[in-house]
Amino acid sequence: MPKAPRTKIEVDSIKEKILDEALQLIIEEGFNKLSMRKIASRLGITAANIYNYYTSKDEINLMIRVRGFETLYSMLTKEYQANLTLDDRINAMVRAYVKFGISYPGYYDIMFNLHTPNSPITSGLNSNLWLL
């Protein structure tokens, strides 16, 4: 009898575990040494199985960055909304930014210090940066 397909919750959980392990590997060894095989080995699955969730290590890298920026955005927004004056908002948001860097050094390093690899996902973004 065939195995039942995974639920969305199960798929999301696996995707999160893949990102968590990839982040650890990037912190420990650097992005250039990241491989699907290393991620899979830590998770006890096959490297081919990871491709059911992510198309490449560049997509994994991008999703780690997205998750980091979502966390930072949430922290900044919370502080902005909790303060009324412009000075208080700016001070609170600066503190939140520093707190993010201290609390999530792995994300901070990937988001602000590491080069973003070129991929089909990011190439469109890089060519449109001048519009900002």
**pLDDT per residue as tens digits for the range 31-83:** 889 999 999 999 999 999 999 999 999 999 999 999 999 999 999 999 999 99
- Provide long-range contacts, Cβ within 8 A and 24+ apart, for 68-77: 68/104, 68/107, 68/108, 68/110, 68/111, 69/111, 71/100, 71/104, 71/107, 72/97, 72/100, 72/107, 72/111, 75/99, 75/100
Question: Cβ(109)–Cβ(101) under 8 Å?
Answer: no
d(CA 81, CA 77): 6
d(CA 123, CA 4): 37
Domains and CATH numbers, the chain: 8-124 (1.10.357.10)
Cα–Cα distances in angstroms (integers) from residue 79 to residues 9, 86, 89, 92, 112, in the given order? 30, 11, 7, 6, 21
**pLDDT per residue as tens digits for the range 101-132:** 999 999 999 998 876 555 554 555 444 444 44
What pLDDT score was predicted for residue 5?
84
The whole-model pTM stands at 0.78
Q: Which two tokens stand for residue 50?
A: 């990871």
